[in-house]
């Protein structure tokens, strides 16, 4: 329980069905802006008190730094654009919850995510939630298939407006803003600000390149840029230009026209298969959370895959998670590692 509306409503719904519950909150980061700071922990405790259920706080700060924060910084230094929430769900949240579930002899783990599980061909599968504006199966695509049988999502068949009505009617929470994406960024802090504060950076910022030629020294270090970026370049080319490539080893940021940001083929690594796929198949693929899944052919080779879109897609970005859908289910996911000519 994060102290927010969704996880609190999930607990309330389960209690109405007669389930025995214990609320678990993870303490992950001292300066967190949401979901694991001291204020949210106290909100979760208050909600559990109103619900009449036990509450535990698990201190996982060391694990969170090691498995989420440090890889987040390393990814930026490597010229990638990471998604820490995906990694947190995989490495921290669900691992901790399932471990505690077993310790307390409970049957299931439940969270306030907008997603659904179902049985298909004798195995549990992960599907999108009913509320397509809030569905979060993308962020859960790194769960292991053997974990799905232990997890339920009480909000999967509901819409956000229904949750708000429950919380208001039951008086379970005080009013507070919706949470932001990256919990360990403070206030309006950017990833670049966070990296400077955590590790500092005294190296050369690098250079900005267009048509193979250096046009200026970067105003901020190379890792403060991302594929597809147009604003904040502080350079006028007389036409719109975008970041099309980042060479972290050489500290070079390359610009190009919009069509150069589109890619048809790319590779993914650390493949996580949730639902039977085969070595080559047709699928729909998302390359970031807000991307509309696009038709593609997926070719699996060991722990990697080559994805070939039917039509080129904008800003295929190393470090982001590619989620592969098949038959209305999450079939697999992998981290974007690079592009192929396309």
Catalytic residue among 35, 36, 183, 329: 183
Distance CA 334, CA 320 (A): 9
Question: Mind giving me the DSSP string for 127-188?
Answer: EE-S-TTT--GGGGTTS-TTTGGGEE-TTTT--HHHHHHHHHHHT-S---PPP-S-TTS-TT
Cβ burial, residue 77 (10 Å; 0-12/13-18/19+)? middle
Sign of the C-alpha dihedral, residues 7, 13, 15, 20? negative
Nearest to 177 by CA among 334, 70, 43: 43
CA-CA distances (angstroms) from residue 285 to 98, 149, 161, 192, 326? Answer: 29, 24, 28, 29, 9
CA-CA distances (angstroms) from residue 189 to 28, 62, 192, 215, 222? Answer: 18, 22, 8, 29, 18
Number of Cβ within 10 Å of residue 210's Cβ equals: 17
Which residues is 252 bridged to in the sheet?
207, 247
Nearest to 57 by CA among 22, 12, 21, 82: 22
48 noted as active-site residue? no
Location of structure tokens 């389960």: 14
Location of structure tokens 């994805």: 307
Number of H helices, E strands in the chain: 8, 16
- Please provide the size of the chain in residues: 342
Sign of the C-alpha dihedral, residues 333, 334, 335, 336? negative
Catalytic residue among 35, 48, 85, 88: 88
Pair 222, 253: CB distance under 8 Å:
yes
88 noted as active-site residue? yes
Active site residues: 88, 183
């Amino acid at each position: 329980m994060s102290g927010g509306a969704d996880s609190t409503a999930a607990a309330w719904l389960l209690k109405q069905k007669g389930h025995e519950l214990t609320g678990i909150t993870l303490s992950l980061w001292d300066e967190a802006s949401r979901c694991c700071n001291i204020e949210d922990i106290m909100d979760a405790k208050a909600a559990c008190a109103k619900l009449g259920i036990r509450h535990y706080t698990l201190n996982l700060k060391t694990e969170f730094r090691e498995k989420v924060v440090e890889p987040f910084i390393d990814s930026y230094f490597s010229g990638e654009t990471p998604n820490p929430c995906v990694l947190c769900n995989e490495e921290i949240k669900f691992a901790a919850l399932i471990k505690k579930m077993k310790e307390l002899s409970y049957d299931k783990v439940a969270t306030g995510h907008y997603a659904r599980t179902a049985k298909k061909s004798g195995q549990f599968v992960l599907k999108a939630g009913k509320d397509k504006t809030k569905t979060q199966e993308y962020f859960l695509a790194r769960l292991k298939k053997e974990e799905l049988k232990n997890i339920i999502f009480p909000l999967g068949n509901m819409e956000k407006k229904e949750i708000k009505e429950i919380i208001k009617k039951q008086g379970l929470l005080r009013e507070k803003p919706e949470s932001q994406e990256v919990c360990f960024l403070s206030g309006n802090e950017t990833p670049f600000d966070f990296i400077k504060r955590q590790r500092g950076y005294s190296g050369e910022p690098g250079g900005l390149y267009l048509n193979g030629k250096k046009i200026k020294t970067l105003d901020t270090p190379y890792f403060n840029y991302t594929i597809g970026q147009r604003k904040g370049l502080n350079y006028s080319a007389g036409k719109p230009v975008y970041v099309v490539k980042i060479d972290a080893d050489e500290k070079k940021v390359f610009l190009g026209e919009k069509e150069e940001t589109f890619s048809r083929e790319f590779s993914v690594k650390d493949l996580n298969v949730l639902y039977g796929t085969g070595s080559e198949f047709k699928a729909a693929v998302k390359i970031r959370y807000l991307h509309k899944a696009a038709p593609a052919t997926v070719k699996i080779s060991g722990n990697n895959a080559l994805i070939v879109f039917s039509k080129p897609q904008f800003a295929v970005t190393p470090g982001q998670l590619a989620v592969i859908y098949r038959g209305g289910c999450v079939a697999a996911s992998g981290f974007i590692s690079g592009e192929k000519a396309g």
